[in-house]
Amino acid sequence: MPSLGGLLKKRRTKDSQDLGKPDSQNHDGSGASMQPASHASPQHTGTGTATGTHENATSIDHIINQEQPKQERVTKGKYSQEDFELQRTLGTGSFGRVHLVQSNHNHRFYAMKVLKKAQVVKMKQIEHTNDERRMLNRVRHPFLVTLWGTWQDSRNLYMVMDFVEGGELFSLLRKSQRFPNPVAKFYAAEVTLALEYLHAHQIIYRDLKPENLLLDRHGHLKITDFGFAKDVPDITWTLCGTPDYLAPEVVSSKGYNKSVDWWSLGILIFEMLCGFTPFWDSGSPVKIYENILRGKVKYPPYLHNDAVDLLSQLITSDLTKRLGNLHGGPSDVKNHAWFAEVTWDRLARKDIDAPYIPPIRGGQGDASQYDKYPEETEHYGQEGEDPYGHLFPDF
């Protein structure tokens, strides 16, 4: 099924594509939900940036400080089109597009996702659209994108989110081919903390991959695209995700739980360290699924022994052995030898230097890390007949 977030996605490779997701933005160089550097609402926020390259990466330990997230926000009815000035398009897709916008109140920059209601209804994405808004409204974490406000007019839905200036981790990985061990470890550790937080709130993310990991001004991650995120206290059955990253229990249409995110973490670490996913096969989803169910992973000889040990305990179809799904929960992942030098509390405070600082001008609406697109000609904020408004009551 296509995700709402899938609306903003391109193909992850020339051949491999998401499970029925429409072509669009977050897939190979244009992310779409972004970040102000401080954690205030658009009436009181900021954004930023810097420069550098990951080649001089050291392991995980240095400086940067930000507050921990606070309580859930109430966003309904908070903003309107008049509160923001459109700057440029950051990405396009089957349901609409994402714009860089500037607040008319604090003059800071945000990402505004615009979804065409008629298309969302036509593609049967009403539930996913409402789920994305609901999930984003519940979360508040340093490594998750923040939703600041939503509204709707007679034609469109609007979501104002962080503008995360540094672009996608996917783009950096493709340019680098593969990451050195300490670099992959840094990003994997931040993702681990984000998954731990989501799972503690009974949320399965279900779409982990480099395309959905954006880099903020300081090089720290923000997970974006919550179109597949779901509140799941126990198990669910929906077949959704990106073929390369699907756990075998999803492929085989069995009920599954939060353990699918830990499988995906294993695939992500493998891709960061190797430059390719373990079950990729000429881009054919069917062949990828067959390989996933077969479960044979070939680990390149250049991988560190600790990395192989961790991966073998994440990329396993045996749920009684998969780290993250055992009695210790996320602590089993965090306590693994591969993460031995990670100081988790400092990492959560962003009190550790990132291995790569995006080459951008902070706080100035610098969208140089995103592809350019033809601009939207439709005038937003139109009034008139609204046959679908009742389907999106929280916007």
Per-residue pLDDT reduced to its tens digit, 183-219: 999 999 999 999 999 999 999 999 999 999 999 999 9
* Structure confidence at residue 69 as a pLDDT band (50, 70, 90): very low
User: Which pLDDT band holds residue 378 (cuts at 50, 70, 90)?
Assistant: confident
Q: Average pLDDT for residues 289-295, to the nearest whole number? A: 96
Query: What percentage of the chain exceeds 70 in pLDDT?
Result: 80
For residue 281, indicate whether it is catalytic.
Answer: no
Given this model, what pLDDT does residue 74 score?
55
Nearest in space to 19 (alpha carbons), one of 30, 8, 11: 11
Residue range 5-33: average pLDDT? Answer: 34
* For residues 168-191, average pLDDT: 97
Distances (CA, A) of 369 to 216, 321, 364, 383: 11, 40, 13, 35
* Average confidence (pLDDT) over 231-241: 91
Token duo for residue 303: 């991988």
Average pLDDT value for residue range 13-19: 34
Structure tokens given for 152: 């709707």
Residue 18 has pLDDT above 60, yes or no: no
**CA-based nearest residue to 185, from 66, 57, 283, 290:** 57
Q: Is the pLDDT of residue 339 over 50?
A: yes
254 marked as binding residue: no
- Output the pLDDT for position 17: 33
Q: Which sign, positive or negative, has the C-alpha torsion 68, 71, 75, 79? A: negative
Give the whole-angstrom CA distance, residue 10 versus residue 91: 9
Of 18-27, 134-143, 156-165, 329-338, the least confident: 18-27
Residue 245 near residue 228 (C-beta atoms within 8 A): no
**pLDDT for position 234:** 92
**Measured between alpha carbons, how far is 329 from 336 in angstroms, rounded to an integer?**
12
Q: Which residues 6+ apart lie within 8 Å of 231 measured at CB?
A: 131, 134, 135, 202, 203
Question: What gap in Å lies between CA 6 and CA 27, rounded to an integer?
Answer: 9
The two tokens of residue 226 are: 């919550």
Give the residue, 112 or 78, on which the prediction is more confident. Answer: 112
Mean pLDDT, the chain, as a whole number?
Answer: 83
H-assigned helices in 252-385:
259-274, 285-294, 305-314, 330-334, 344-348
- Which of 28, 83, 153, 207 is the catalytic position? 207
* Cα dihedral 277, 278, 281, 287 sign: negative
Tokens of 164: 């995360």
Mean pLDDT computed over 347-368? 95
Q: For residue 272, give both structure tokens.
A: 């960061």
**Span 157-170, mean pLDDT?**
96
- Spatial separation of the C-alpha atoms in residues 149 and 158, rounded to whole Å: 8
Note the pLDDT tens digit of each residue in 239-282.
888 999 999 999 999 899 999 999 999 999 999 999 999 999 88
Reply yes or no on whether the pLDDT at 37 is more than 90: no
Closest by Cα among 360, 368, 383 to 87: 368
Give the residue with greater pLDDT, 25 vs 384.
384
Asked whether residue 56 carries a pLDDT value surpassing 60, the answer given is no
pLDDT of residue 363: 87
The helix or strand, by DSSP H or E, that contains position 87, with its residue range, turns out to be strand 84-92
Q: What is the mean pLDDT of residues 299-317?
A: 98
Predicted local confidence at residue 283, as pLDDT: 75
pLDDT score at 95: 86
